[in-house]
Amino acid sequence: MAKTIDARGRSCPEPVIMTKNALDENPEESFDILVDVEVAVENVTRFAKNSGYKVDVEEDKGYFILHIQK
């Protein structure tokens, strides 16, 4: 089961930093990152892909779920 990180209500670069910290702690684990602004979706997606991860984005009731996996 993927770990969930709730970055809703946080402005960039905080969601990216939270994602980086999670990936640094457990580089092989899958994560779901919750964000509520399009800019955070773009920034976290770019960071994760540049770090070698696959990212799938899902929209749900006014926020986004980024599924990040190796």
- Name the amino acid, one letter, at 6: D
Helix ranges (DSSP H) in the chain = 14-25, 38-50
- Residues labelled as active-site residues: 12
CA-to-CA distance for 47 and 42, rounded, in angstroms? Answer: 9
Q: Which residue has the tokens 């976290």?
A: 44
